[in-house]
Amino acid sequence: MATIKDVAARAGVALGTASRVLSGSSQTSADSRARVLAAAAELGYIANGPARSLRRARTDVLGLLVSDIRNPFFSELAHAAEQEARRHGYTVLLANANEDAEQADAYLKTFAAQRIDGLLFSPQGTVSPQVAATLASGLPVVFLNRTIEGVDAPLYGTDNAQGVQQVLAWLQRRGHRDVAFIGGPDGISTGAERRAAYLAGRRAHGISTDDRLLDAGDFLAGGAAEAMCRILDRGVTFTAVFGANGQTTLGAVRALRQRLGAEQAARIEVVSFDDLDWFEFASPPISAVRNDASSIGRLGVRGLVDLLAGREAPGQRVPTTFADRSVQGTA
Amino acid sequence: MATIKDVAARAGVALGTASRVLSGSSQTSADSRARVLAAAAELGYIANGPARSLRRARTDVLGLLVSDIRNPFFSELAHAAEQEARRHGYTVLLANANEDAEQADAYLKTFAAQRIDGLLFSPQGTVSPQVAATLASGLPVVFLNRTIEGVDAPLYGTDNAQGVQQVLAWLQRRGHRDVAFIGGPDGISTGAERRAAYLAGRRAHGISTDDRLLDAGDFLAGGAAEAMCRILDRGVTFTAVFGANGQTTLGAVRALRQRLGAEQAARIEVVSFDDLDWFEFASPPISAVRNDASSIGRLGVRGLVDLLAGREAPGQRVPTTFADRSVQGTA
DNA sequence: CTGTTAGCGCGTTCAA
DNA sequence: TTGAACGCGCTAACAG
């Protein structure tokens, strides 16, 4: 692979001149500029990133640590973040914690070794030693979607309170009184916020405050299905189910159909935080809070870029919209 | 951030000794080993990756370029690949071409700049100049799921012929004669292979050879919906639809329901290459070829690791299974 | 087994 | 504007 030395030799200039042309740092004569560029093109020169990083003490790489890349919310977020980062001249190193604090720690170490310039982080909720070390290191950090209590880093995430309000309003409009709520882990900020907003608002929207209708999973389909089963086992009746994220709703619907059969299950209306492709096909169709992953990813990157440029990054709550798919004439 | 020099000073040994202990290259005395390790722990030393890469002329980073990270098949594949790579001591740099050859080129350039050690590649089908340069550079490459005609690199992918056979057998068992087929781009190897297998096998399975029942999209929901509409517009009747990948099936179902309404659409059976979470909830449920993304990702990484170690990597077709969800008593 | 030293490729400083 | 020289942090080669 050609080095800058090869380029300089071919262009008949000194190494320094070639470097100046290629990294555009200072003025060069039109003549040497042209010759260096031509030589570089002929040789297919691509600067050696590690060498450049070593010298400049920055990598132009941002780390993105998400909790579960198979969750469509995060894969869309990752996609948007990547696009936005590229626009600002950064490469994204994507890591998937797989909802597992140990893996998150391992990746944070990898990020540190790679000397990323900044971190986009969707945390598990716990402050492990590695997380603490990362935060203490002075690395610019932005939280995406989830935050950690007491940590001073801007959060770019969904307006959970607003989303839950939309669900509550919908439940009331649909006349539901007995509603099963399947939340997420309380240690994850989105889980806690959505649960808190639901508990705070249910009475005012005419919804039963019977806590036997409440349970929580792990924000994955499996744990949510178990939670749904526990509620069913308690023998309280309900006419609607509210799943606190997309995977949770998936698990809940699965459990309902398995336990009650498709026909009985279809008598229960389902509403979800997070909108998924197939909700329109469910019977009955599932209404949902649209959680704008793209915007969160994009804004998060912009915030981090601001931080890196020494500017302020205040964080931001992204508004939700509600997709009402309830069928006319039923209630 | 602490350097190896700091560690050596603190441990009271020379730089080289610290390096030997920390990278475990050669034998060191138990004493210096203990002292270096202690010093490193106290300082929270993490080796500078770029510097190490520069010196060793390798990065221990693998590039993974997928065509669409928002496609669940690829997000699962990426997840599995990442896990497997980690087991072998590699970090994965994930890039998303977004089904766009230009973006793919941009990422290949980034990979080259980062000096990745090897590439896992799910190509668009076209050999752009950048793809050609990458292949010509001698970088070890493995294709995942898709290949490029005439390029000599091992492919780890689905056994498309087998999968299509399973669909054909199912269609025959269900007594379908008039089947609409929505394929993918012919330039993508999976699109071409699935289409070829379908065309080759349909007559033997008692399926109409009327080519008005054939169309193709872009392997995304939007293009597939358009293809479905074109078939509907031709006015030929059919009792089943076969979507050549998951997103295609999604688009097809959407189009059917929009054009025919949910009730009429429910009279048409749908079968898919790729299995998605929600197929069990569709009415009627959608049967599907299970496409083992995890295995493909895992095997691909192993193949690339073999290549990097100077061993052979023959490539492999991963067998499919079929999820028959057809409802008893109907046909 | 350990200390010393060269140099990976690059950007930047200092002189000219 | 340009050339020459230095050093980023690390590993490997060599000498002891």
Q: Which residues on chain B are in Cβ contact (under 8 Å) with A276?
A: 278
Give the bridge partners for A157, in sequence order.
A317
Question: Three-state SS for B142?
Answer: strand
Residue type (1 letter), A288: A
Sheet-wide strand order for B316-318 = B91-96, B61-66, B118-121, B141-144, B155-158, B316-318
pLDDT at B87 over 70: yes
pLDDT at A329 over 80: no
What is the predicted pLDDT for the residue at A99?
80
What is the predicted pLDDT for the residue at B8?
95
Region B283-308: what's the mean pLDDT? 97
What is the predicted pLDDT for the residue at B26?
78
Tell me if A50 and B48 make a contact (CB, 8 A cut-off). Answer: no
DSSP B274-329: S--GGGGGSSSPPEEEE--HHHHHHHHHHHHHHHHTT-----EEEP-EEE--PPTT
Strand C, nucleotides < 7 Å from a protein CB: these are 1-5, 7-13
What is the predicted pLDDT for the residue at B329?
55
From the CA of B24, how many Å to the C1' of D10? 14
Q: Which residues on chain B are in Cβ contact (under 8 Å) with A275?
A: none
Portion of chain A with pLDDT greater than 90, in percent? 89
pLDDT at A128 over 80: yes
Tell me if B253 and A46 make a contact (CB, 8 A cut-off). Answer: no
What is the predicted pLDDT for the residue at B330?
60
What is the predicted pLDDT for the residue at B247?
95
- Interface size A-B, in CB pairs within 8 Å, comes to 112
From the CA of B14, how many Å to the C1' of C4? 9
Least Cα separation, residue A205 to chain B (angstroms): 30
Selecting from A44, A93, A253 the residue whose C-beta is nearest the C-beta of B281 gives A253
Q: List, for residues A19-55, the tens digit of each pLDDT value.
A: 999 987 777 888 899 999 999 999 999 999 999 999 9
Portion of chain A with pLDDT greater than 70, in percent? 98
Closest CA to B65 of B31, B137, B116, B2: B116
What is the predicted pLDDT for the residue at A330?
59
Tell me if A69 and B79 make a contact (CB, 8 A cut-off). Answer: yes
pLDDT at A324 over 80: yes
Portion of chain B with pLDDT greater than 70, in percent? 99
Mean pLDDT, chain B, integer: 95
pLDDT band at A331 (very low <50, low <70, confident <90, very high): low
Tell me if A283 and B278 make a contact (CB, 8 A cut-off). Answer: no
DSSP A257-286: HHHHHHHHHTTSEEEEES--GGGGGSSSPP
CB B234 within 8 A of CB B218: no
Tell me if A82 and B75 make a contact (CB, 8 A cut-off). Answer: no
What is the predicted pLDDT for the residue at A7?
95
Region B184-196: what's the mean pLDDT? 96
Q: Which residue has the higher pLDDT, A125 or A88?
A: A88
Nucleotide nearest to B52 (CA to C1'): D10
pLDDT at B80 over 90: yes
What is the predicted pLDDT for the residue at B150?
87
Residue A22 CB lies within 7 Å of the nucleic strand C: yes
What is the predicted pLDDT for the residue at B25?
72
Tell me if B137 and A82 make a contact (CB, 8 A cut-off). Answer: no
CB B176 within 8 A of CB B207: yes
pLDDT band at B160 (very low <50, low <70, confident <90, very high): very high
Measured from Cα to the C1' atom, the residue closest to D11 is B55
Region B257-265: what's the mean pLDDT? 95
Would the pTM count as exceeding 0.85? yes
Region A277-305: what's the mean pLDDT? 96
What is the predicted pLDDT for the residue at A26?
75
What is the predicted pLDDT for the residue at B20?
95
Mean pLDDT, chain A, integer: 95
CB A46 within 8 A of CB B109: yes
Q: List, for residues B242-260, the tens digit of each pLDDT value.
A: 999 999 999 999 999 999 9
Measured from Cα to the C1' atom, the residue closest to C5 is B16
Residue A94 CB lies within 7 Å of the nucleic strand C: no
pLDDT at A2 over 70: yes
Region B104-114: what's the mean pLDDT? 96
Count other C-beta atoms under 10 Å from residue B283's C-beta.
Answer: 15
